[in-house]
Structure 1
Amino acid sequence: MGVSGSGKTTVAKRLAKQLAWPYAEGDDFHPEANVSKMAAGQPLADQDRWPWLRSIAAWMSAQAADGRNTVVTCSALRRAYRDVLREADGQVRFVYLSGDVDLIAERIGYRKGHFMPTSLLTSQFETLEPLEPDEDGFAVDVSPGPEQVADNVIKQLSATA
């Protein structure tokens, strides 16, 4: 979880490969209307997010039913959004990719072909509710770069398993 540009996709792909777990890109679950809205620079409203989040949770439940752990990217910026994801079968653990707004804005500037414009980053940071102590998960600083971040996540997962 984390704001756009925090490295969710890059880190998740590394984790999925290292752990040999199925991977899903949360953005792929967005209906076309959501993608169009964001591409036009309009933040999503909660009514746009609920069906999207439920479809991610349904995918996680289907994987859990087949006995598989998964890696899924999702901004999950608010606790209410994470609560929907927690409805999935199995244990849902969040990894919050935390970073400085300037670093993340710089990284977004290097991205090509993504529908999320840098102009929405401020609204994402305003919406962000970091993990609370009673939520299953932990924060990882993104400044070291994706390889080190993935290694740090695996260490944390091992320590809290």
Structure 2
Amino acid sequence: MTGRSIIVMGVCGCGKSTIGENIANRLNAKFIDGDDLHPKANIQKMASGTPLEDIDRAPWLERIRDAAYSIETKNETGVIVCSALKKKYRDQIREGNKNVQFIFLDGSKSLILDRMRARQGHFMRETMLDSQLETLERPDQEAGVFTISIDGSIDNIVDAAVAVLVGNINE
């Protein structure tokens, strides 16, 4: 058995935590919500409505990369939620890891806004979506990244993600 990390990525409000946890359950994998790995200063900054800069993200991405490494070296399967908006962020997560795949949860701005308005108790403010959409470097044609539409039920989204992951176990 080979360790494997699946990074569920996308902008705020696309359903990363919900979908990621459901994928982990279906695959009998460890689940890590990347939001829990943010340094305190990042959480405070986002809660105040201030977008993170690359310098803010660096220690967080290092924690994500290290979690993926730990999962891989223990021959486990893990699902980690992380926005991974830029290619260089995804590359940083891949660094030193041999078996990392990404599920990009993709949807329209209006659908994501509707979902953000429906959730409770999250530190990410609705106003941050524009900043995240501007930062997003779409992973079209990027190896090891699978795009899944979020225009459907949670079960349908999870089914699509699991199907592509099971079909690409050793990509």
TM-score band (shorter)? over 0.9
Contact 1:65 1:89 in 2 (8 A): no
Higher helix content, 1 or 2: 1
Contact 1:60 1:88 in 2 (8 A): no
- Please name the residue that 1:90 is paired with: 98
Q: Structure 2 length as normaliser, TM-score? A: 0.91
1:38 maps onto 2:46 in alignment: yes
- Residue identity opposite 1:72 in structure 2: I
**Alignment size in residue pairs:** 161
TM-superposed CA distance for 1:47, in Å, is: 0.1
TM-superposed CA distance for 1:137, in Å, is: 1.4
CA distance in 1, matches of 2:90, 2:101: 10
Task: Pick one of 61, 71, 96 that aligns with 1:63.
Answer: 71
- Residue identity opposite 1:73 in structure 2: V
1:12 maps onto 2:23 in alignment: no
- Please name the residue that 1:139 is paired with: 147
- Please name the residue that 1:75 is paired with: 83
- 1:89 match: secondary structure: coil
TM-superposed CA distance for 1:64, in Å, is: 1.0
Which structure 1 residue ranges, 4+ long, deviate > 4 Å from structure 2? Answer: none
Higher strand content, 1 or 2: 2
TM-superposed CA distance for 1:130, in Å, is: 1.1
1:157 maps onto 2:160 in alignment: no
- Please name the residue that 1:47 is paired with: 55
- 1:41 match: secondary structure: coil
Equivalent residues in 2 for 1:114-125 (5 A)? 114-125=122-133
Identity, in percent, stands at 38
CA distance in 2, matches of 1:21, 1:123: 32
CA distance in 1, matches of 2:71, 2:159: 24
- Please name the residue that 1:128 is paired with: 136
* Greater mean alpha carbon deviation, residues 40-49 or residues 79-88: 79-88
TM-superposed CA distance for 1:88, in Å, is: 4.4
